[in-house]
């Protein structure tokens, strides 16, 4: 997302989510100072800039129905709002700073170089956290058969063999996801996420 779209998206979040919740009378969470609340709102606007107007309206309605505080008159904390937003409209892969950073990092480059990038992407979409050593081991194990299969198909093509339609379709889908991962890595590198 370029800076103009980001700025427009942030304004949209302010107009369609933040202001309506404030008009409903929801006050800042009691655990936050005024400055902390303003920073939370600013961060929410930046993180939710990718959302469509319709989905922001749905998020506003959901958040209004789930206020926090003992009197149910407080703004929900950012983590709750972000969880609800991810259920309503998950951020695209290119919109996620985490996914960009992982693919710009040595971990992402290893996944791209060794063919397990699609499984890494799937794990990141699901967990939304940086994978540790144990998670990486599991990702590689889950990717093992697919990596072998693509290597086999590429070898057969290099010999001049023809693939059946199922194999060909699977190969095209797999290579498409790998290419998507490469683009995400480039975005992450442009963001300065390279380690």
Q: 69-127, pLDDT tens digit by residue? A: 899 999 999 999 999 998 999 877 665 788 889 999 999 999 999 999 999 999 998 88
The torsion region of residue 59 among left (phi > 0), alpha (psi -120 to 50) and beta comes to alpha
Q: Tell me, yes or no, whether 184 and 105 share the same domain.
A: yes
pLDDT higher than threshold 50 for residue 195: no
Angle between helices 78-88 and 34-47 (to 10 degrees): 20
Q: Tell me, yes or no, whether 135 and 177 share the same domain.
A: yes
Position 193 scores a pLDDT of 53
Residue where a domain terminates, one of 90, 110, 127? 90
Q: Tell me, yes or no, whether 98 and 159 share the same domain.
A: yes
Q: Look up tokens 């290893």; give the residue.
A: 110
Q: Tell me, yes or no, whether 45 and 71 share the same domain.
A: yes
Q: Tell me, yes or no, whether 19 and 107 share the same domain.
A: no
Q: Tell me, yes or no, whether 156 and 73 share the same domain.
A: no
- Whole-angstrom distance, CA of residue 61 vs CA of residue 140: 41
pLDDT higher than threshold 50 for residue 15: yes
Helix (H, G, I), strand (E, B) or coil at 45: helix
pTM: 0.64
| Structural domains in the chain (count) | 2
DSSP 87-109: HHSPPPGGG-HHHHHHHHSHHHH
Q: Tell me, yes or no, whether 104 and 80 share the same domain.
A: no
Q: Tell me, yes or no, whether 55 and 120 share the same domain.
A: no
The per-residue pLDDT for range 27-54, each reduced to its tens digit, is: 999 899 999 999 999 999 988 998 999 9
Q: Tell me, yes or no, whether 80 and 45 share the same domain.
A: yes
44 within a domain of the structure (yes/no) = yes
Please say whether the dihedral angle defined by the alpha carbons of residues 82, 85, 87 and 92, taken in this order, is positive or negative: negative
Q: Tell me, yes or no, whether 34 and 62 share the same domain.
A: yes
Position 114 scores a pLDDT of 97
Q: Tell me, yes or no, whether 115 and 36 share the same domain.
A: no
Averaged confidence pLDDT in the chain: 91
Angle between helices 165-190 and 97-104 (to 10 degrees): 100
Q: Tell me, yes or no, whether 101 and 182 share the same domain.
A: yes
195 within a domain of the structure (yes/no) = no
- Banded pLDDT at 7 (limits 50, 70, 90): confident
Q: Which domain holds residue 124?
A: 94-190
């Amino acid at each position: 997302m370029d800076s103009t779209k980001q700025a427009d998206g942030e304004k949209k979040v302010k107009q369609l989510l933040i202001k309506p919740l404030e008009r409903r009378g929801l006050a800042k969470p009691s655990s936050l100072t005024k400055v902390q609340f303003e920073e939370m709102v600013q961060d929410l606007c930046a993180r939710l800039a990718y959302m469509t107007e319709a989905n922001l309206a749905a998020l506003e309605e959901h958040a209004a129905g789930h206020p926090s505080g003992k009197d149910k008159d407080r703004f929900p904390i950012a983590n709750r709002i972000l969880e609800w937003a991810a259920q309503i409209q998950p951020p695209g892969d290119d919109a996620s700073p985490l996914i960009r950073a992982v693919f710009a990092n040595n971990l992402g480059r290893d996944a791209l170089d060794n063919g397990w990038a699609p499984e890494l992407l799937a794990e990141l979409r699901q967990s939304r956290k940086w994978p540790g050593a144990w998670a990486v081991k599991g990702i590689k194990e889950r990717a093992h058969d697919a990596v072998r299969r693509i290597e086999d198909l590429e070898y057969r093509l290099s010999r001049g063999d023809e693939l059946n339609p199922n194999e060909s379709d699977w190969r095209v889908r797999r290579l498409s996801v790998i290419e998507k991962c490469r683009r995400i890595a480039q975005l992450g590198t442009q963001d300065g996420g390279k380690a």
